[in-house]
Amino acid sequence: MPKITMNINGRETSTEVENRTLLSTALRENLYLTGTHIGCDTSQCGACVVHVNGKAVKSCSVFAAELDGATVDTIEGQANADGSLNVIQQAFQDHHGLQCGFCTPGMVMSAAELLKVNPKPSEAEIRDYLEGNICRCTGYQGIVNAIMAASGQDVPSIAAE
């Protein structure tokens, strides 16, 4: 089996994989990084989004064996150095951007890429960017609010308050 070495969350990490092993499987089953969730396994739902060489990808749709030498960032590497939640994660907590939490790792990783390419997105831009991340609990408004807040923008008040 090929041995691959990736820089995962800032640490050189080697593991042996079959050619057919998906990145999502390698992360979860070889490296025990189970924060990356496998929802649909058909690249629809986005729960498995991680960053490969700085770009958001669906880790269920990439072979780990393709990524020897790559830099991979997962949800486990998102917290601040002192272990506290980073600004996006904290905003998800503050604005009820999650309920069951299954989609959250992918949502946070997609949001992180969005804010990197577009630091002050509009609500429409946020919704458009999250097109490939499916949440079945929240109705998305809390997620959108969290990303608005994480980007330092005013959060629309809740109409029914």
Partner 1 sequence: MYDFDLVIPTSVDEASTAMKADGAQALGGGQTLLPTMKQRLAAPETLVKLSGLSELVGVNAASGTLSIGGATTHGQVADEASAYPALAALAGNIGDPAVRNRGTIGGSIANNDPAACYPAGVLGSGATVVTNTREISADDYFVDLFETALEEGEIVTGVNFPIPDAANYQKFDQPASRFALVGVFVAKFGDTVRVAVTGASNGGVFRWSEAEAALNANFSADALEGLAVDAGDLISDLHGSAEYRAHLVGVLTRRAVQACS
Binding residues for partner 1 (CB under 8 A): 2, 18-20, 22, 41-44, 46, 49, 52, 55-58, 60-63, 65-66, 110, 113-114, 129, 131-133
Q: Kindly tell me which of 24 and 145 has the beta carbon lying closer to partner 1.
A: 24
Decide whether 147 or 158 has the Cβ nearer to partner 1.
Answer: 147
Q: How far is the CB of 86 from partner 1 (least distance, A)?
A: 20
Reduced to 3 states, what is the DSSP secondary structure of residue 72? strand
**Cβ closest to partner 1, residue 65 vs residue 143:** 65
How far is it, in rounded angstroms, from Cα 12 to Cα 105? 22
Contact partners, residue 125, CB within 8 Å, separation at least 6: 114, 118
Please identify, using beta-carbon distances, which residue of 65 and 149 lies nearer to partner 1: 65
Least Å from the CB of residue 107 to partner 1 = 12
Min separation Cβ 20 and partner 1, Å: 5
87-91: Cβ within 8 A, 24+ apart: 87/150, 88/112, 88/115, 88/146, 88/147, 88/150, 90/150, 91/146, 91/147, 91/149, 91/150
Q: Which helix (H) or strand (E) holds 160?
A: none
- Which residue, 98 or 126, is less far from partner 1 as judged by CB? 126
Tell how many helices (H) and how many strands (E) occur in the chain. 5, 5
In the complex, minimum distance from the CB of residue 157 to partner 1, in angstroms, rounded to a whole number: 28
Smallest gap from Cβ 33 to partner 1, in A, equals 18
Q: At 10, which amino acid appears?
A: G
